[in-house]
């Protein structure tokens, strides 16, 4: 295997400085790589200026760095061109953009298809759209282990469907969605497809051309980049068909007292001063990630996930949320210990230097499906190693002794 987690960990200053930390909350936020930190710092200390505002040298350098970040994001997604990349504040902002802009063209009775596995960021904006426009939300059901049930596509995606919005992978179960049948079913009725890629991008480059969707959203902080920045990729003709979401500077063609014309995408959707330094940092992170040995890295994280699942299986009173095997699954493992609240388990684990998350993980409809209020979640990244898994298992054994 041409990969060393210890060497990879050195690219993350926080982890390099805290050897005692067992960071297993990567589904919430990955640590920031040095490439992102260095690029953002270089902008702020050497070429900080606003974009699209100046004709002086510093401003031109800022423009060049910002647009280079757009090209880097496009390359990571295998987009047709950088004009298909819109910088936003993150996945939530990207989905809200589509819900408002695409939603403006919908009418009462039009249908939007979701699944029960969605994060609140891909659920609540569509409920809000239902309140504004009277659209109907239809839900793809789940199998017993929490995967989206593709056998019900035909009856769920009707000719009234205008958009299917589904997760690329669950932030609770790690289950990867079978997107090809969903895209095909949507195309058959003339519907658009939006994919929430927040959990997928940190596991290697994404080929949006191969996925066949119209929109793809992700956040920088989950892809080992800065917080406060994300990407909405949109197929060229799909973006061009959307009206703007926010109004202000930077997104206009011409403003008169009587009317305003709008810039073409992506500028149409980037009103005001964008997160320049953050976008530059994200571009650098994606460029660095694109060159990594992902086959070896994903084999490494899969091995750790299996080690964790095997270790958990011997604990008394433990139940898993989601698939027990690693087929079409990311290294995200959620579980409960009978009689122990997830928050209490997390506090005991913190005494062992283990950082995991407990709660409903912004997926309450999925928790309702499983019949629980929350769960403990461990999420693995390439910089994790066997010591992280061992510390987690040792801490859980102590939690059982102390709390049951």
Residues identified as active-site? 362
Q: What's the CA gap between 191 and 214, in Å, rounded?
A: 10
Of 321, 328, 322, nearest to 302 by C-alpha is 328
* Residues 380, 127 contacting (CB under 8 angstroms): no
**3-state secondary structure labels for all residues of the chain:** CCCCHHHHHCCCHHHHHCCCCEECECCCCCCCCHHHHHHHHHHHHHCCCCCCCCCCHHHHHHHHHHHHHHHHHHHHHCCCCHHHEEEECCHHHHHHHHHHHCHHHCCCCCEEEEECCCCHHHCHHHHHHHHHHCCEEEEECECCCCCECHHHHHHHCCCCEEEEEEECECCCCCEECCHHHHHHHHHHCCCEEEEECCCCHHHCCCCHHHHCCCEEEEEHHHHCCCCCCEEEEECHHHHHCCCCCCCCCCCEEEECCCCEEECCCCHHHCCCCCCHHHHHHHHHHHHHHHCCCHHHHHHHHHHHHHHHHHHHCCCCCEEEECCCCCCCECCEEEEEECCECHHHHHHHHHHCCEECEEECCCCHHHHHHHCCCCEEEEECCCCCCHHHHHHHHHHHHHHHHHHC
Residue 261, by phi and psi: left (phi above 0), alpha (psi -120 to 50) or beta? beta
Residues recorded for the chain: 404
Instruction: Return left, alpha or beta for 328; rule: phi > 0 is left, psi -120 to 50 is alpha, else beta.
Output: left
């Amino acid at each position: 295997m041409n990969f060393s987690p210890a060497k990879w960990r050195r690219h993350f200053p926080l982890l390099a400085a805290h050897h005692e930390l067992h960071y297993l909350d990567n589904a919430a936020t990955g640590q920031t790589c040095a490439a992102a930190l260095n690029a953002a710092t270089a902008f702020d200390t050497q070429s900080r200026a606003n974009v699209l505002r100046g004709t002086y040298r510093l401003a031109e350098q800022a423009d060049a760095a910002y647009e280079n970040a757009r090209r880097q994001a496009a390359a990571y997604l295998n987009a047709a061109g950088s004009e298909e990349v819109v910088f936003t504040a993150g996945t939530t902002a990207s989905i809200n953009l589509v819900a408002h802009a695409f939603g403006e063209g919908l009418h009462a009775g039009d249908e939007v298809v979701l699944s029960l596995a969605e994060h609140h960021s891909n659920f609540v904006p569509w409920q809000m759209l239902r309140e504004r426009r009277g659209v109907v939300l239809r839900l793809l059901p789940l199998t017993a282990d929490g995967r989206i049930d593709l056998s019900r596509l035909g009856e769920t995606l009707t000719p009234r469907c205008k958009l299917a919005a589904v997760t690329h992978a669950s932030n609770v179960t790690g289950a990867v969605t079978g997107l090809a049948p969903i895209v095909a079913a949507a195309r058959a009725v003339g519907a658009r497809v939006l994919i929430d890629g927040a959990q997928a991008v940190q596991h290697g480059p994404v080929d949006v051309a191969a996925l066949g969707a119209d929109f793809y959203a992700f956040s920088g902080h989950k892809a080992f980049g800065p917080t406060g920045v994300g990407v909405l990729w949109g197929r060229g003709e799909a973006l061009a068909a959307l009206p703007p979401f926010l109004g202000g500077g930077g997104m206009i063609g011409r403003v008169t007292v009587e009317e305003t014309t709008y810039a073409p995408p992506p500028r149409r959707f980037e009103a005001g001063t964008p997160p320049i330094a953050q976008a530059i940092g994200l571009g650098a992170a994606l460029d660095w990630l694109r060159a990594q040995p992902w086959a070896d890295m994903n084999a490494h994280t899969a091995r750790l996930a299996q080690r964790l699942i095997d270790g958990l299986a011997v604990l008394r009173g433990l139940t898993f949320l989601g698939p027990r095997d690693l087929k079409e699954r990311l290294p995200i493992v959620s579980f409960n210990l009978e009689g122990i609240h997830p928050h209490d388990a997390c506090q005991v684990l913190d005494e062992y230097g283990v950082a995991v998350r407990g709660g409903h993980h912004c997926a309450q409809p999925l928790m309702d499906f499983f019949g629980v209020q929350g769960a403990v979640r461990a999420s693995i990244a390439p910089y994790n190693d066997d010591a992280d898994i061992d510390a987690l298992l040792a801490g859980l054994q102590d939690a059982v002794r102390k709390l049951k």
